[in-house]
Amino acid sequence: MGYFNDVNSLAAESNRHSGNFVARKPCMANLDPILDDLVAANRILAGLHVLDGFGHVSVRHPDRADRFLISRSLAPELVTREDIQVMDLDSNVQDGDTRTPYLERFIHGKIYARRPDVVSVVHSHAATIVPFAASSVPLRPIYHMSSFLAAGAPVFEIREKFGMTDMLIRNNAQGAALAEKLGDNSAVLMRGHGYCTVGGSIPEAVFRAYYAQLNADLQQRAVALGGTVTYLEDEEARRYDETNRSVIGRPWGLWKAKFAPKE
């Protein structure tokens, strides 16, 4: 299944929804920037070393709140538009696409199901976060760039509900438990595994995935100095999180220029 088939099936999907065959061309045009941004997000997260051979990023379908777009099972650095699949919120692959999906797609489906405000989800094993996911020391915002952590970054312990597992989120029950632990926060850590960030747009979810792992490194360093550490006040964090929406285009523009596939 190739690029044109994919785009066609996405367009057909969208057409079925609108019940309007004439709308097909405009709908394709409509999905184009989302597909480009989703591919860019994959490449950016690989380029920033937030993702390696594993991890994934998804976006809610712009026309259907009960669908999301995500690559087939592939290293993010290699993802192209041809590799994008459409899934429902139980993470069933749509449109007869038989290519292997990510084992952990249930993370995405269940977060979209529980959080109507979320437009994009990143799941990563980034190196600086994993120690916090294994430690009793909580991740806290050390500067404004990671203000989104102030509301909290709860740690999901899969053993609580599921006992011994292979640590992966392999089904909807596990996905729903993770989404529940995420609650209204912007990030959730996963013990012995990694973390997820969510955002109201692809750039916001990517920004949070990047700065969550950078904050982990900085907090680690601050703790190691042995003095007292002053974290952001909740009010400071809330205010910057607001501000960030007006400036997030700046790193996103840089990252696209550096890492997105050239035309």
What is the rounded distance in angstroms from the CA atom of residue 260 to the CA atom of residue 105?
23
Q: Which of 19, 40, 64 is nearest to 207 (CA)?
A: 40
What is the rounded distance in angstroms from the CA atom of residue 172 to the CA atom of residue 150?
28
What is the rounded distance in angstroms from the CA atom of residue 35 to the CA atom of residue 20?
22
Phi, psi angle pair for 105, to nearest 5°: -60, -20
| Sheet with 67-71, edge to edge strand ranges | 84-88, 67-71, 56-60, 120-124, 194-199, 187-190, 155-156
- The amino acid present at 31, given as its one-letter code, is L
Choice between 8 and 165, CB closer to a second copy: 165
Least separation in angstroms between CB 101 and a second copy: 12
In the beta sheet, which residues pair with residue 237? none
Least separation in angstroms between CB 131 and a second copy: 4
What is the rounded distance in angstroms from the CA atom of residue 50 to the CA atom of residue 227?
29
Active site annotation includes 77: no
Choice between 32 and 242, CB closer to a second copy: 242
Choice between 29 and 78, CB closer to a second copy: 78
What is the rounded distance in angstroms from the CA atom of residue 102 to the CA atom of residue 42?
14
Alpha-carbon 48 to chain mean position: 14
Choice between 89 and 232, CB closer to a second copy: 232
194 and 122 in contact (C-beta within 8 Å)? no
Choice between 12 and 93, CB closer to a second copy: 93
Least separation in angstroms between CB 240 and a second copy: 4
Least separation in angstroms between CB 141 and a second copy: 8
Annotated catalytic residue: which of 13, 104, 160, 180? 104
DSSP-derived pairing of the beta strands 67-71 and 84-88: antiparallel
Least separation in angstroms between CB 17 and a second copy: 32
DSSP-derived pairing of the beta strands 187-190 and 56-60: unpaired
- Which residues lie near a second copy (CB under 8 A)? 52-54, 73-75, 77-78, 103, 125, 127-128, 130-137, 141-145, 147, 159, 164-168, 191-194, 214, 217-233, 235-236, 239-240, 242-243, 246-247, 250-255, 257-258
Least separation in angstroms between CB 166 and a second copy: 4
What is the rounded distance in angstroms from the CA atom of residue 143 to the CA atom of residue 240?
10
Choice between 146 and 172, CB closer to a second copy: 146
- The amino acid present at 77, given as its one-letter code, is E
- DSSP state for residue 1 in the 8-state scheme: -
Residues with active-site annotation: 104
